[in-house]
Structure 1
Amino acid sequence: MKMLPIKLSSIFFKLAIAFLLIILPLSILGLYLNYSSSTTVKEQIEQSLKSRLHNYVRGMDADFQRLMRLRNELLADSDLQTLSYAKHHLSDYLYAQAVLRIQEKLRLLQASSLYMDDINVYLPRIQRNISSRGFITLPVEDEIAALKRSTLSSPIVFWNDQYLIGGSFPGTYGIEDSEDEPFLILKLSVSEDFLQQSLNEVHNTKLGGGMLLQADKQWKIVSGNDQMHALAENLIPHIAGESMEQFQNGSFSVTANHVAYTVIYEKSSVLNTVMAVFLPEEETLGPLTKYRYWYWIITLTSVVIVIIFSYWIYRIIHQPIQRMVFAFRKLEKGNLNVSLKHSQEDEFAYLYEQFNIMSSKLQLLVHEVYEEKIRSQQSELKQLQSQINPHFLYNSYFVLHRVAQMHDTDTVIRLSRHLGEYFRYITRNGADEIALAQEIRHTHSYIEIQMLRYSRRIQTICEELPDSCKEVLVPRLVLQPILENAYEHGLENKMAGGIVKMSFSSTDELLQITVEDNGDDLSDRQIERIAMELKLEEHVETTGMLNVHRRLQLKFGKQYGLSVSRSSLGGLCVEVAIPITKGT
C-alpha cells in the first residue's frame, strides 16, 4: 500500500512536537543545573585551592622568617666571632671544640627546616669553610658575589643551579662590591626538590603544576611535567606583567595547547616571590564534565526515543487512518465494493465495521437510485408514448375525412401513411435509444401531418441532418414534444406567416439541435420562467419539454439537455445539447 507523504501538519509531527515540548523544559532545567553545579564546584575548588595556597604561603613565610632570625643569631654566634677574630690565640683543642660546636649549630639550623639542604659558613680571614656536613672547599668569587645579592627583601638568589640564602658579618646585604671584606659569610642552600614537592602538595593533582617565581623574574621553580614547564613560561606575563609590586593574589583561566587551565597565585612578602598553582579544568571539573557528556547523551537518546515512540504511535494511528483514506478515495471514484478489515479489537475495529456498513448501504442506495432512474426513464417514456393528444388524433382524422371527401387520393395515401408511421413509432416497445436519423424520420412524419393541418398559416423549415450525426444515439421522442410546443403554443394565435425552423450544428463531441419559431405570445418573463423550470432539480410537471429535458439529463448528465432563449425570429428558441455517442 502506498504511504501517504508525511506533512508538517501530520499526526507524527504533532506527536513528536508535543513530546519534545514536554521534555524540553526538563532538559533546559537539567542543563541549567549542570552548568550551575559546574560553576559552583569550580568556585568551591578555586576557593579551596586559594585557601590551601594561602596557608602554604603563610607557613612558608613563617618558616623562612624563623630561618632568617636563626641566621642572624648564627652570624652573631660567639664561636664564629672567636674563630674569625682570635683563631691564632686558640689552642688546637679549643679550635677543634669551637669548630665542632659550630657544625652542631649548623646541623641544628639545617634540621630545623625541611627547606634547608645544607648550611655552611665561610671565614675569609682564616680561609675555612665549615658546613653542617663537615669541612668543604672554599667558595669561589662568583658564589660569594651571588650570596651578597641576597637581601632582606629578596633573600633567595639563584647561582649555579642552586637556590641560596646568604648572610655576612658585618652585614652588607645586597652590596656586591663592598670595600670592607666581611669576617664571615653564611650560605643556606634551599632544597629545590622539597620546594617542588611542596608545590605538588598544594594542587595535589597528576595533571597540574606549580611555580615559585622570584619578583624580578631572575629565577623560578616549576613542578610538574615538561608541559607544565612550557606552560609556566606562558603564565609569567599573566601573573606578573612588568612588575609584581602591585600583585598580592588572584586567579584566572588560560588556554594552552587547546587545554583550559585554572591558575591561582599569591605573593610571599617574606621571600618576595609569587607562588602559583595551575591545573586543567578537566581535572577539577572532570566528573561534572563527564556527567555533562552523559547528560547530552541522555538528552539525545531521549529525543531519539521520543521520535521513535512518536513514530510508533503515529504508525498505530496512521496506518488504520491511511486505510480509511484510501477506502474513501475509492468511494469517491465510484468503487463501492470496498471493505476494511482490522485484526485488533480497538476503536478502529468499530470505525471499520461502520465504514463497511456505510459502504454496503451506499452500494444498495446507489443501486436503488440507478434502478429508480432507469425505471423513471422507462415510465416517463411510456407516459409520453401514451400521451396521444386526442385533439391531434381527432384533427388528423377530420383532415383525412375532408381530403377523402375531396377525392384527393394522393393526399389521403400520404396522410394515412404518415399517421401509420407516427402511431407505430410512439407505441412500439423497442429499444429506448435509437439513431438520430430514425428520430428525425419520425419527426418528419409528425411535421407532414401538422403541415396538412396548418399549411395555410404555418411554414416548417427543416434543415438536412449532417451525415456525421446520423448515428448519434438519442432517447426516443425528444424532438416531437419541442415541435408540438411550437405548433400548439408558440404559433397558436398566429393566423398567417408562422415559421417553425429546425437546424443542426455539431462539433467533435457535441450535437446541438435548435428549434425556433416566430410566435408573438411569449414575453421575456415567460421565457425566463421556462428557463428557471428547466434548471430545477425536481419538476412538478413531467410532460412536454420538461419531460425531454429530464430524460436527456438522466441519460447524459447535468451539462446536457434543453435551454431556452429569445429566437432571432422573434419567438421561442429551444436548443437541445446531446453528446455525440454513436451506436456500434
Structure 2
Amino acid sequence: MTRKWSLFTKMVTFLALLLLAIAGLYGYTVATSIDTMQRELETSRLNQLKFLADRLENDIDQLTLNAYNLLQDPSVRDYAILPAIEHLVDRNRLKMTITEKLKLQSTASAWTNTLTLYFPATGDLLSSDPHSALKSEYDFSQLVPDRWIYDHPTSEFILYVPDRGRTGDVSVMLSFPAENIRKLLASYEGKSRPYLYHPSGRFIFDDHTESTTAIRIAGQLGTRTIDGTLSMVTEANGMSYLVSAMPTALDDWMLIEYTPLERILQPIRKSTTLFAGATAALLLLGVLFAFELYRNVQLPIRKLVNGLARFKEGDYGVRIGIVPAREFRLLTEGFNDMAKQVGDLIDKVLTEQIRAKEAEFKQLQSQINPHFLYNCLFFIKSKARVGDTESVEAMALSLGEYYRYMARTDKDMVPLRSELDLIRNYVSILNLRKPRIDYIADVDEELMDLEIPRLLLQPLVENAVLHGIEPKTGRGTLRITGRRLGDGFVLTVEDDGVGMTDETLMRLRGELKGAKSEEAGYGVWNVRQRFVRKFGPGAVLEIDSKPGEGTTVTLRCDSRAQEATPA
C-alpha cells in the first residue's frame, strides 16, 4: 500500500530540502571564496616577502660590491706589491690611506659592517675596525672563499674574497652583525613576522617573532632546498598557518613568513556561523509554521474527514471535538449539529419501524388465530349436528383453554412449556373430532423455560395435521422434539404423513424466502418471519420431506443469534 505523506511532512521536507540547497550553495560559495582568498593571500605574502628579500639582497650586494671594489683600488694594489716598490712609496702613508678608504667604504653602507684586508706578502692586516682581533692564521685559513658564512659565537655573517693577481696576493673579508638583519625584519610592514632559517637549525628573529611557532614551522620544512618560492598550509600549535618561503642572497639561508589562517578567515567563518545559525532558526521557524498549519488546518480537516467516513459507515453518534482554530469551528459545530439531527431522525425512524414490526406481529397473530378458529367452529358445528354433546362440550372446554392462552396479548414471548400445552390441547381437539393422531413430545427439560414467540409451533402442527396426516389412510404420528445445541437450541415438528414431492418441496422453500404469497400459505411463512425477526439472521427454518414418509420442519438457532436480537 502506497504511503501518503501528510501536509506537515511535505512542508517540513520541502523546507529542509530548500534550506539544504541554500546551505549547499552557500557552502560552495564560501569554499570558493576561501580558496580564492587563500590564493590571493599566498600571492600577496609572496610579493611582500620578495620585496623584503630584495631589500636584503640589495644591502648585501652593496656590501659585496664595496669588497670587490677594494680589490681594484690602486692603493690596495700598491700595498700588495709593497716589497717591490717600498723604495718608491711611503709605507705608513699608504697604510693610512688604505685605512681611511676602508672606513669610508664601511660607513657608506646603512648596515654596520667591517672590511678587512689581508696582505700575505707583508703579513699586514688592515681593517675598518681598528679593534678587530682577527688573526690571519685562524680567520682566513678557516674561511670558504666567495661564500657567506655565519659565525655563531660572534653572530656575524662573513664573506671571504681572495684575489691572487699578478701584482700580488690580497684578500678581503667582509663581515656584518646579524643585528642588521633583525632591524630589516623589524621594519617589515605586516601582521606576520618573517625570519631567517638555515637548514642546520639556526634562526634569526626580530624581537616580535614568536620563536616557538616559527621553529616548529621551520622544522616541517626540513632540509629541503628552495630554488624559487614556496607556499603551503601547515599545522602548528593546533592552528593552521599559511607559510611562504624563498631563498636569500645569504647562502643556504631561507626567508620564511607565516600567517595564521584563522585570523584571515575569521570574518568568513563568522559569517558562515551566522548563516548556519540563521538557517537553523529559519528551519525551526518553518517547522513551527508547518506544525501550526498541521494543527490548525490539516488536523481539523482529518478529523472532519474521519467523522464523515464514520458517519457514512452508519456511526450516527460520531461527534468531532471542538478544534482551537476559529476558521474550522463553524464547520465542526455544523457537522456535529447535522450528525445529531440525522441521529435523532434515524432514531425516530427506527422507533417507527419497531412499532411497525410490532403491529405486523399482531397482524400475523390475527391471521393465525382466525384460521384455527374456523377449523374448530366447523368441527363443533359438525358434532352438534350429529348430537355428540360430549364432544361438543370437550371441544368447547379445550377451545376455551386455547383462547384463554390467545387472549393474553400483553406478551409476544412465552415459555416453550406453555406452547407445548397449547399444542396438547390442540391435538386433543383434533382427536375429539377424529381419533387418529398419536402425539409425542420429546423436549429436554432445560428447554421448557425457553422464551419463544407466541404460536410459533402451533401453525406447524396444524399444517402437519392438515397436509400430512389427514390425507393419509390410517393413524398418523406427530412428534415434537427439542434439544440444546451448544448455547443455542433446535426444535423439530415431524409427521409421518403423505409428504411432498421434490418439486413441491423446492417450490415451497423458495416461496418461504420471498414475500408473503397465497401459495406459501400464511402459517409457515408467518412462523419463519417471526422466528427470524425475534432471533436474528442466525435463526433458520428448514423443511425436509419425502413422498409417503412424512415431513419434518426444523427450527434452529445458535447462541449468537439469540444475543444479537434479544426478546
Q: TM-score range by the shorter chain?
A: 0.7 to 0.9
**Aligned equivalents of 1:120 and 1:529: distance in 2?**
146
Secondary structure of 1:286's partner?
helix
**Aligned equivalents of 1:475 and 1:105: distance in 2?**
145
Give % identity: 22
Quickly say closer, same or farther: Cα 1:291–1:499, change in 2 above 3 A: farther
Quickly say closer, same or farther: Cα 1:99–1:274, change in 2 above 3 A: closer
Shift of 1:384: 1.2
> Match for 2:211 among 226, 250, 254?
226
Quickly say closer, same or farther: Cα 1:497–1:39, change in 2 above 3 A: farther
**Aligned equivalents of 1:57 and 1:454: distance in 2?**
148
Quickly say closer, same or farther: Cα 1:186–1:55, change in 2 above 3 A: closer
Two-structure CA RMSD over aligned residues (Å): 4.4
> Match for 1:363 among 336, 339, 343?
343
Pairing 1:253-268 to 2, within 5 Å after superposition? 253-268=233-248
Shift of 1:135: 2.4
Residue number in structure 2 paired with 1:185: 173
> Match for 1:35 among 18, 31, 36?
31
Shift of 1:388: 3.8
Residue number in structure 2 paired with 1:212: 196
- Where does the alignment leave 5 or more consecutive residues of structure 1 unmatched? 1-6, 173-179
Shift of 1:103: 0.9
Shift of 1:463: 2.0
Quickly say closer, same or farther: Cα 1:139–1:43, change in 2 above 3 A: same
Equivalent residues of 2:368, 2:522 under 8 A apart: no
Shift of 1:291: 1.9
Equivalent residues of 1:501, 1:517 under 8 A apart: yes
- Where does the alignment leave 5 or more consecutive residues of structure 2 unmatched? none
> Match for 1:197 among 186, 192, 200?
186
Secondary structure of 1:160's partner?
coil
**Aligned equivalents of 1:416 and 1:442: distance in 2?**
14
TM normalised by structure 1 equals: 0.76
Shift of 1:119: 2.6
Further displaced range: 68-77 or 488-497: 488-497
**Aligned equivalents of 2:504 and 2:247: distance in 1?**
114
Secondary structure of 2:108's partner?
helix
> Match for 1:336 among 303, 317, 329?
317
Quickly say closer, same or farther: Cα 1:341–1:309, change in 2 above 3 A: closer
Map Cα deviations across residues 323-369 of structure 1 (whole Å, 9 max, x no partner): 658967997896738475567552x2342133123212322232123
Quickly say closer, same or farther: Cα 1:389–1:548, change in 2 above 3 A: closer
Query: For residue 481 of structure 2, what is the amino acid of its counterpart?
Result: S
> Match for 1:298 among 278, 288, 302?
278
Query: For residue 365 of structure 2, what is the amino acid of its counterpart?
Result: Q
**Aligned equivalents of 1:219 and 1:505: distance in 2?**
118
Residue 443 (structure 2) pairs with residue 464 (structure 1): yes
Residue number in structure 2 paired with 1:120: 115
Further displaced range: 357-366 or 313-322: 313-322
Query: For residue 173 of structure 2, what is the amino acid of its counterpart?
Result: I
Residue 260 (structure 2) pairs with residue 311 (structure 1): no
Secondary structure of 2:410's partner?
coil
Shift of 1:150: 5.7
Pairing 1:337-416 to 2, within 5 Å after superposition? 338=319, 341=322, 345-346=326-327, 348-388=328-368, 392-402=372-382, 412-416=392-396
Secondary structure of 1:193's partner?
helix
Shift of 1:106: 0.6
Residue 9 (structure 2) pairs with residue 25 (structure 1): no
Residue number in structure 1 paired with 2:232: 252
Residue number in structure 2 paired with 1:280: 260
Pairing 1:84-163 to 2, within 5 Å after superposition? 86=82, 90=90, 95-96=95-96, 98-109=98-109, 111=110, 116-121=111-116, 123=118, 128=125, 130-131=127-128, 134-139=129-134, 144=139, 148-149=143-144, 151-152=146-147, 155-160=148-153, 162-163=155-156
Shift of 1:306: 2.0
**Aligned equivalents of 2:266 and 2:364: distance in 1?**
100
Secondary structure of 1:135's partner?
coil
Secondary structure of 2:113's partner?
strand
Further displaced range: 494-503 or 426-435: 494-503
Secondary structure of 1:301's partner?
helix
Equivalent residues of 1:157, 1:163 under 8 A apart: yes
Shift of 1:71: 2.5
Query: For residue 164 of structure 1, what is the amino acid of its counterpart?
Result: F
**Aligned equivalents of 2:25 and 2:467: distance in 1?**
90
Shift of 1:383: 0.7
TM normalised by structure 2 equals: 0.78
Query: For residue 212 of structure 1, what is the amino acid of its counterpart?
Result: L
Residue number in structure 2 paired with 1:235: 220
Quickly say closer, same or farther: Cα 1:141–1:123, change in 2 above 3 A: closer
